[in-house]
Chain A
Amino acid sequence: MAIVTSSNKACSINPLKMSQPIGGSFAFLGLRGAMPLLHGSQGCTSFGLTLFVRHFKEAVPLQTTAMSEVATVLGGYENVEQAILNIYNRTNPEIIGINSTGVTETKGDDVEAFIRLIRQKHPQLEKLPLVYVSTPDFKEAFQDGWEKTVARMVEVLVEPVDAAAPRDPSRINVLPGCHLTPGDLDELRAIVEDFGLRPSFLPDIAGSLDGHIPDEFTSTTIGGIGVDEIATMGQAAWTIAIGAQMRCAAEAMQAKTGVPFRLFERVCGLVPNDVFIAFVSEISGRPVPAKYRRQRGQLADAMLDAHFHIGGRKLAIGAEPDLLFDVSSMLYEMGVQVTAAVTTTASSVLERVAIGEVVIGDLEDLEDLAKARDCDLLISHSHGRQAAARLNIPFFRAGFPMFDRLGAAYQMTVGYRGTRELIFALANLIVADREDNRQPTPDTWRTT
C-alpha cells in the first residue's frame, strides 16, 4: 500500500531520529549487571546518558572509551582496553556491551580484533562476556541499533543446542522490540505466565528501568535478564518476536538452536491480540483464562465508547517504523485517517501502514504535512510538542524520548489491557481538547 520516500533536504530540521549506537546501548540496559560502553568520544555518551535519564528519570549506567582527538587519529585500542579494565575493576559487571560510534567508524577501528588481543593480555577477563556491535552514527537509526545489538547478543551469548535435543515445553523466549516499554514487558510477562509458560525476555528492560527502588546499590544495570539465562534460551520451545525489527534476532536464535519462532509485527489492537492470545493458548496447550476473555470484552466496549471521539480524526504521526505501524494501524481500525506519517529508517512494515506515502524524514516534514493536510491529531515523541503547539492540535506522546511527562516507562500499548489504556488516553485527550480549545463562538460558522 504505502510507498516509502525520503525527503531530500540537506538540512534535517527538528530531528525525529536518534542515533544508532544509543539504540544499541539501550538494548544492553536490559541485561543484568551490564555496563554498556560506547566506543567514541565522551560527548556521544554524555548525550545518550542525558537522554535516557530524562526519559526514565533513573540513574543509567553508560560508559565511554573517551576517544580524544589524538586517539581518534591513531586508533582506539588503548582506550578500549583501558575502558574495559576500568569498568571491570570498578563496577564488577556481568557483561560489557560495546557499540561503535561515528567517530570510531570513520577511523575504522577493528574492535573485534581489539577484544581478542585484550583477552590474550588479560586472562582475568576470560569469563567476562564482551559483546561488540558495529553501529555507526552516520547510518540508520535508533531502532536499527537495538535490532543489531539484540541479534548479536543471540549470536554471542546463546549456547548452541542440538536441534534434536528435547526442549522444555514450558519455556519460551520473548524478543521485544525497542518500541515496547517496561510496562509493556510486564504485561506480556503476566500474559504468558498466566498460560503456565516461563518466559525469558531478551532484552528485559522491565527489570532495570521500571522505576523501582532497588535493593542494591550498583553502578551497573539492575535487574534485566542474566547472562546465564540467555545462555540457555536454546532450550525453549518457542520464540516470540515482537516488532518486525526482531526478525533478525529470532532468525539467529533459530539458526543457532533450532527454536522455532513466530513474529508478531503488532500487538496493539483487538485483532492482533486475538491472534497473539490464540497462539499462546495453542503453544501452552491451555484454554484462554477467564481474565483475558473479560479483558477482551472490556477492550471491545472501550472501542465502542471511544470511536465517537477518535473516528474521523486526521492523524499525523512521527515514530520509528515498528511503533508507527503498530499505533497507526490500531487507530486506523478505530476509524482514524492516517494522513501524515514520518519515520526514521527503512523497514518492511512501512509498506503496510494505512497511508499512501510514508516519509523518512524529520519533524519539520511532519509539521509541514500535517499543516497542508489539515491534521487534527499529532502523535510523536516529546520533541513533537513544539510542532503541535504551532499547529494548535492535540498532541499525544508516544515512543522515546518522552522527557516532559512522568511515567514514560509505564505507558502501555500491548495486550487487550494496554490497547484499552491507549484508546482511553487518546480519546480523553481529544475530549479535553474540544472542551478547552474548540468551544463554538458566534463566529464559528460564519464564512468570511
Chain B
Amino acid sequence: MTSLSATIQDVFNQADCAKNTNKSQAVRKKGCTKQLQPGGAAGGCAFDGAKIALQPFTDVAHLVHGPIACEGNSWDNRGSASSGSDLWRRSFTTDMQEIDVLFGGEKRLYKAIKEIIAKYDPAAIFVYQTCVPAMIGDDINAVCKVAATKLGKPVIPVNSPGFLGSKNLGNKLAGEALLGCVIGTQEPDFVTPYDINLIGEYNLSGELWQIKPLLDELGIRILSCISGDGKYREVASSHRARAAMMVCSKSMINVASKMRERYGIPFFEGSFYGIQDSSESLRKIAHMLIERGAATELMERTEAAVTREETKARAAIECFKPRLAGKKVLLVTGGVKSWSVVAALQEVGLEIVGTSVKKSTREDKERIQKMMGHDAHMIEELAPREMYKMLKEAKADIMLSGGKSQFVALKATTPWLDINQERCYAYMGYVGIVKLIEEIDKALHNPVWDQLRNPAPWIDDDLTWHAKALAQMDVRSAEVAPKPLRVEKASPVKRPCSCEAVGRRVIKDAGAAHRLTIVDGAAPRTGASVCRASKETIQDVTAHCASMPQAAE
C-alpha cells in the first residue's frame, strides 16, 4: 500500500495541471479528489475511472479482480468503438467468493489469467485491483509478475481499488500503470517525423474517426491513441512519437507530462470540439511536428485543409441559424469540455444561460468568462433539485448534459441532449459539430414538447405538476433549511406561498374579464401569491388571453 500511496501523491503533484499549481503545497498534496460525503450523491470510484481509461484498448483482456459487484454490475456500459479486435467487449472477472475472501484470492487470480490466455490469447491482460482484494492484501503486482514470466504474455497490474477515490483519480492510476509497465516496452516497426500520440481520447461512438481522415490527409500518423481504438503494441511503442496532444481532458495529464520528461515528447492540451478549437489543434500539431523535424510545408497544407473544412462546416450550419438564434442553452457537463462547445454554439446564435465549471481550471473559467460576457452563469455544482429550478428560472430551451441528469430536464419537459459518454452520436471535429447542431435543432423543435406541456383536460382547474413541483420545492427548502447538519449558512426564509389555493380557472376568468396581459395585474385581482410558480401560471394564462381573438379586439 505504501508504494500505492506514493503513486497517488505523485499523481497529484502535477506541475502541468493548472488547477493544481494554483493551490498551496499542503492543499496540493490532498489532490483534487474531494472526500465524498456519506449520503451525498455518489460518483464513480477509482476502479471505474481506471477501467474507463483503459478499456478502449481493444485487443487486451480486461480482468477485474474482485467480487461480482465491480464488474457484474457495470460491464458493457460504454460505447468506445474498435476498428479491429472485439476482445475488449468481453467481460472478465474473478468473481471472488467468500472462500477467496477468507483465504486470499491470489490463486484464483493466477488461474483466471491462465484461463484467459488459453482461451483468448490476448495481446496482453490488464488486471484491475478492486476494494475487497486490496483489503485482504492480495498482491496483484506479484501475481501479474509471476504470470507474465510463466505464461509469456504482458500482464499489467492496474492498482485501482475503488475506495481510494474518484473516477478522476482512477484515470490517472490507469495512466500510472501504462507508464510503469507498458509504454516504452516495445519498438514501432518504423518511425516518421509525422508521428503523434493522442492522450485522453477514448473514441466514444467512434469520434476519433471523425478526425483521423483529416490527419491521414495531412500525412500525420497517430502512432498511438491512448486509449481510443488502441492496440497494446501501439501504446507499448508510443514513446517514439514526435509530439502529443492531450485531448480535451486532463484525465491522463500524468501520462503526457511524464512522457515529455522521459522521452522528450512535447505536448499541448487541445480539443476537437467546435470549429475554432479543431482548427487550432490541427495547427498546433503541425507546428509541433515542424519544430521537431517535419517539413515546413506541412503548415501550408494544414492551413489549406483548415480553411476548406471551416468553410464547409460553416456552410452546413448556416441553415440552422434562423431556427436556433436566440434559443437558450443550459450546459451541464463535467466542466472540462464546456468552453470548447460554447464557441460553436454561439456561432449559430444559441445563447448560453449557464455552464458548469466543476472541473474547470481558473484558466478555463477565464476563457468562459471571455466568451460569454459578464453575466456568464458559472455553476460550481448543481443538485438535481436546483438544476430543475434553474431550468425553469433561466427559462432554458434545452439542456445539454450527461445521462445522469437527463431526467431532471425530461421530467421538466425541457428538451435534452446527451453530450457525455453515453451519447449515441459523435460530435468531434468539423463533421461532429454540424451533427451536434443538427441534434440540438432536432431536440428543440420536436413536436412532442408542445403536447407534453399541455396539462390533461381534467386538471384544468388545478395547477400543472410543474407549478406544483416548484411550489413544493419552495416550501421544502424553507422547511429543510433550519435544521441542516453541516451547513454553515441558512438559506433565506421563503415567503409562504398560496399559489395552490388559486386555481388556474380563477386566473383565467380574471384574465378574460380584465383583459390582462401582465402578471402584476393578475395577482391583486385573483389573490394569487407572488411565488414564481404562480407567476408562471399567470403568465401562461394571461399570454393565452392576450392571444384570444376576443381579447385582441
Contact = CB atoms under 8 A, between A and B. Distances in A.
B389 to A, nearest CB: 10
B480 A90 contact: yes
B404 interface: yes
Interface stretch (A131-139, A299-307, A323-331): A131-139
B117 to A, nearest CB: 10
B437 interface: no
A35 to B, nearest CB: 8
A63 interface: yes
Interface stretch (B43-51, B428-436, B519-527): B43-51
Contacts of A46: 42-45, 48
Interface string A66-106: 11110111000001101111110110100000000111001
Interface in B419-475: 465, 468-470, 472-473
B73 A47 contact: yes
Interface residues of B, number: 78
A382 B70 CA distance: 18
**Contact size class for A?**
35 or more
A51 to B, nearest CB: 5
Interface string A1-31: 0000000011111110111011000000000
B67 A138 contact: yes
A113 interface: no
Contact of A139 (B35, B40, B98, B116): B98
B132 A68 contact: no
Contacts of A59: 384, 407-408, 411
Given A11-B93, A137-B67, A89 B485 contact: yes
Contact of A18 (B68, B77, B100): B68
Nearest to B111: A10
A21 B43 CA distance: 17
B100 A69 contact: no
A178 to B, nearest CB: 15
Interface residues of chain B: helix, strand, loop or mixed (majority): helix
Contacts, number: 231
B132 A15 contact: no
Contacts of A318: none
A431 B526 CA distance: 62
A37 interface: yes
A216 B77 contact: no
A47 B64 CA distance: 14
Contacts of A49: 42, 404
Contact of A11 (B44, B70, B94, B162): B94
Nearest to A72: B163
B212 interface: no
Interface string B87-102: 0011111111110110
Given A49-B42, A65-B38, A383-B76, A217 B385 contact: yes
Contacts of A90: 39, 480
A45 interface: yes
A72 B161 CA distance: 12
Given A43-B47, A47-B70, A103-B135, A11 B480 contact: no
A10 B132 contact: no
B39 to A, nearest CB: 3
B484 interface: yes
B178 interface: no
Contacts of B135: 72-73, 103, 106-107
A48 B73 contact: yes
Contact of B39 (A12, A37, A383): A37
B291 interface: no
A126 interface: no
Contact of A72 (B35, B43, B97, B131): B131
Given A41-B45, A214-B465, A15 B407 contact: no
A86 B97 contact: no
A383 B115 CA distance: 21
Nearest to B134: A69
A323 B90 CA distance: 24
B493 interface: no
A164 interface: no
A215 B470 CA distance: 11
A225 B47 CA distance: 36
A42 B167 CA distance: 10
Contacts of B71: 15
Contacts of B89: 386
30 contacts: A10-B109, A11-B92, A12-B68, A13-B90, A14-B90, A15-B95, A19-B73, A22-B69, A43-B44, A43-B45, A46-B42, A46-B44, A47-B44, A49-B42, A59-B408, A66-B37, A66-B42, A67-B163, A83-B38, A86-B485, A87-B39, A89-B480, A103-B132, A106-B136, A138-B67, A139-B97, A139-B98, A215-B469, A217-B469, A219-B385
Given A82-B39, A103-B163, 16 more contacts: A9-B115, A10-B108, A11-B112, A11-B116, A12-B72, A15-B68, A18-B68, A37-B39, A43-B44, A43-B48, A43-B163, A64-B42, A72-B135, A79-B38, A214-B465, A382-B76
Q: List the 5 closest pairs (A to B, CB-CB), nearest first.
A: A43-B45, A86-B39, A10-B111, A11-B112, A83-B39
Interface of B: 35-40, 42-48, 63, 66-77, 89-98, 100-101, 108-116, 119, 131-132, 135-136, 161-166, 384-385, 388, 403-404, 407-408, 411, 465, 468-470, 472-473, 476, 479-480, 483-485
